[in-house]
Chain A
Amino acid sequence: GQQLNQSPQSMFIQEGEDVSMNCTSSSIFNTWLWYKQDPGEGPVLLIALYKAGELTSNGRLTAQFGITRKDSFLNISASIPSDVGIYFCASEGDWETSGSRLTFGEGTQLTVNP
């Protein structure tokens, strides 16, 4: 089945540092989404990307949909303690082969030291 390889698995950074994480796949996807999940809560949508090459920002977050449609990255600038959590990439593939299901990466656990 379709799989997303997300890296790194975990990151330990100092407050104020920039962060970068990415997802790759051997399959082509039509949508890339980035979610953040706090402990015991549901994933919260951060950024949605719908076109290859699209670069979108949401405050200190920036994400891009790779030109090949097989990868995406998320950058967080000037990290703050409340950025702590697990970040997931998710993708939606071709309707005929996968319907509208989201396939999730394994997650990146971000720890920010004050």
Chain B
Amino acid sequence: DSGVTQTPKHLITATGQRVTLRCSPRSGDLSVYWYQQSLDQGLQFLIQYYNGEERAKGNILERFSAQQFPDLHSELNLSSLELGDSALYFCASSPGQYQETQYFGPGTRLLVL
């Protein structure tokens, strides 16, 4: 158990819909990272927040957005969902913002039908 929690574990929805994935970092960690894992793209970095502020951005689609709240939990919002958005979405956390070991949560499996 990494100490990072993610909800829900599974999510099934339809194209065009909007979903919110939630992540609680390990106790004391200030950074939260979001990754997408799909069969054809592997594990891809989406975005990082540190202490409530956006720190780094990867290949995150404009339809996707994230935020980190004062209690340090984070939410990833996915809108106008497409079939290709079906993937595993992982959250990771670390104490600081750079050269810190990242610990991953169990993931949310999203299926868009």
Contact = CB atoms under 8 A, between A and B. Distances in A.
Interface string A74-114: 00000000000000101010010011111110110000000
A30 B99 contact: yes
A8 to B, nearest CB: 16
A40 interface: yes
B16 interface: no
Contact of A31 (B58, B92, B99): B99
B104 A43 contact: yes
What bracket does the count of chain B residues touching chain A fall in? 20 to 34
B93 to A, nearest CB: 11
Given A41-B106, A44-B2, A88-B43, A101 B99 contact: no
A42 interface: yes
Contacts of B18: none
Given A30-B99, A106-B42, A99 B56 contact: yes
A21 interface: no
A95 B98 contact: yes
A40 B6 CA distance: 13
Contacts of A63: none
Interface of A: 30-31, 33, 35, 40-45, 48, 50, 88, 90, 92, 95, 98-104, 106-107
Interface of B: 2, 4, 31, 33, 35, 42-45, 48, 55-58, 90, 92, 94, 97-107, 109
Given A42-B105, A101-B58, 7 more contacts: A31-B99, A33-B102, A35-B104, A99-B57, A100-B48, A104-B42, A106-B42
A-B residue pairs, 7 tightest by C-beta? A99-B56, A42-B104, A101-B45, A104-B43, A100-B98, A43-B104, A42-B106
